[in-house]
Amino acid sequence: MKAVRIFEHGNLDVLKITEVEDPKISSNDVLVNVKACALNHLDIWTRKGLPNVKIPLPLILGCDISGIITEVGSEVKSFKIGDEVLVAPGTSCGKCYECLSGQDNLCNSYKMFGYMIDGGYAEYVKVPQENLIKKPNNISFEEGASIPLVFLTAWHMLVNRVKLKAGETILIQAAGSGVGMAGIQVAKLLGARVITTASTDEKLQKAKELGADELINYKEQDFLKEVKRITDKKGVDVVFEHIGGNTFEKSFLSLSKNGRLVTCGATEGSNANIDLRVLFYKHITLYGSFMGQKSELIELIKFFENGKFKSIVDKVLHLEDIKEAHKIIEERRQFGKVVVKP
Ligand SMILES: [Zn+2]
């Protein structure tokens, strides 16, 4: 089969279109003919390499996958050849305390497609049956591939971690990113008032169409000042963070008394300064969040079936144009998801 692999970490040139053997499935797996694979910032990190993380090479990247089952292992009972599926992005052992208590995203053996195991930049991918979810009939493969990682992340952050409540005000950073776009929709479903940021008015307009109530162009306005103005100096109840660096510092200062900040990423930098006096004086709580539980993905898919959630596909490219796809993500040119098709 054709696949895009990396043999070393580096710039766009390390993405190689190669011919590889089709994956061999075990009794618990299915083989999925990939119809679409959405990109995430994770793909960029994986390509470039991360300090203190040993990524097995060569590797096929891509963790958000949709496709059709073409082969099933002998122990697979709930899925059959021809089923249209989405793939939950992380695999886990299924046996440890974390897995047995439903927190599979905290399993020590948690491995993501396209990061620690071969992913979806290929014609076929091998998937354990636990990771399969039936694709809703009312969405395309491209839309389907755009759901798992970002909606799971946003759902886990807002429902499981900060427990966002109706009537609360939330600041969602970077509406144009996949996780920002998902965060707005989850926050609106929960009944919150959403303030969001983006680098262009065009992106903000799209955020408004998704339900965002207050819009801040962070290139033209200081978002901290704007948040204070919008909330009558009070600050927001919750901040949805995934930027890190200097932005994190200002996100933290955007919080009201008893405010909560939840973060799942650090695209701008993994170090941030916070004033501890503000933390204790204002009774602020910080939450980390990593991916989400498979059960949460099953739960949130229902909101695609009833049309409450929309996946926003910005660009669909051929797998052979993978370098261009990575470039779009790196330059933050997209609103929502960039998808490649083999
Ligand atoms: Zn486990």
Residue 332 has pLDDT above 90, yes or no: no
Distance (Å) from CA 149 to ligand 1 centroid: 19
Distance (Å) from CA 296 to ligand 1 centroid: 17
Instruction: Centre a 10 Å sphere on the Cβ of residue 1 and count the other Cβ atoms it contains.
Output: 16
Distance (Å) from CA 298 to ligand 1 centroid: 19
**pLDDT > 90: what percent of the chain?**
97
Distance (Å) from CA 27 to ligand 1 centroid: 19
Distance (Å) from CA 112 to ligand 1 centroid: 13
Distance (Å) from CA 105 to ligand 1 centroid: 8
Q: Which residues of 279-294 are buried (b: 16+ CB within 10 A; e: fewer)?
A: eeebebebbebebbbb
Which tens digits make up the pLDDT trace of 127-160? 999 999 999 999 999 999 999 999 999 999 999 9
* Burial (CB count within 10 angstroms: exposed 0-12, middle 13-18, buried 19+), residue 166: exposed
- Residue 119: its H or E element: none
**β-strand 90-91 against 111-112: which pairing, if any?**
antiparallel
Q: For 211-232, what is the mean pLDDT? A: 98
Per the omega criterion (within 30 degrees of 0), is the bond before 148 cis? Answer: no
Residue 27: HSE in the Cβ half-sphere, 13 Å Cα cutoff: 2
Q: For 236-265, what is the mean pLDDT? A: 97
Which tens digits make up the pLDDT trace of 286-328? 999 999 999 999 999 999 999 999 999 999 999 999 999 999 9
Cα–Cα distance measured from residue 38 to residue 26, given in angstroms and rounded to the nearest whole number: 26
The pair phi, psi for residue 277, each rounded to 5°, is: -65, -35
Q: Which residues of 15-36 are buried (b: 16+ CB within 10 A; e: fewer)?
A: beeeebeebebeeebbbbebbb
DSSP 8-39: S--SGGG-EEEE-PPPPP-TTEEEEEEEEEE-
Distance (Å) from CA 45 to ligand 1 centroid: 24
Cβ 3 vs Cβ 20: under 8 Å: yes
pTM check: above 0.75 = yes
Tokens coding 61: 């990247």
Residues whose CB is under 5 A from ligand 1 (ion)?
Answer: 92-93, 96, 99, 107
Distance (Å) from CA 102 to ligand 1 centroid: 9
If you compute the radius of gyration of the chain from its CA atoms, what whole number of angstroms results? 20
Q: Is 174 left (phi over 0), alpha (psi -120 to 50) or beta?
A: left
Q: Of 316, 335, 323, 298, give the one whose Cα is nearest residue 142.
A: 316
Q: For 25-54, what is the mean pLDDT? A: 96
Query: What DSSP designation does 7 have?
Result: S
Distance (Å) from CA 75 to ligand 1 centroid: 20
Q: For 37-63, what is the mean pLDDT? A: 95
Distance (Å) from CA 86 to ligand 1 centroid: 21
DSSP 142-199: HHHHTSHHHHHHHHIIIIIIS---TT-EEEES-TTSHHHHHHHHHHHHTT-EEEEEES
Residue 115 has pLDDT above 90, yes or no: yes
**No. of H helices and E strands in the chain?**
11, 18
Contacts 24+ apart (CB under 8 A), 268-277: 268/243, 268/244, 269/244, 269/245, 270/244, 270/245, 271/244, 271/245, 272/244, 272/245, 272/246, 272/248, 273/249, 274/248, 274/249
Tokens coding 81: 């050849």
Q: For 39-59, what is the mean pLDDT? A: 95
Distance (Å) from CA 100 to ligand 1 centroid: 7
Q: Which domains does the chain have, with CATH numbers?
A: 2-147+311-341 (3.90.180.10), 151-288 (3.90.180.10)
The pair phi, psi for residue 106, each rounded to 5°, is: -105, 5
Distance (Å) from CA 103 to ligand 1 centroid: 8
Cα–Cα distance measured from residue 143 to residue 136, given in angstroms and rounded to the nearest whole number: 10
Tokens coding 247: 């932005």
Q: For 20-44, what is the mean pLDDT? A: 97
Distance (Å) from CA 101 to ligand 1 centroid: 9
Cα–Cα distance measured from residue 61 to residue 124, given in angstroms and rounded to the nearest whole number: 12
Q: Share the mean pLDDT of the chain.
A: 97
Residue 93: pLDDT band with limits 50, 70, 90: very high
Distance (Å) from CA 76 to ligand 1 centroid: 20
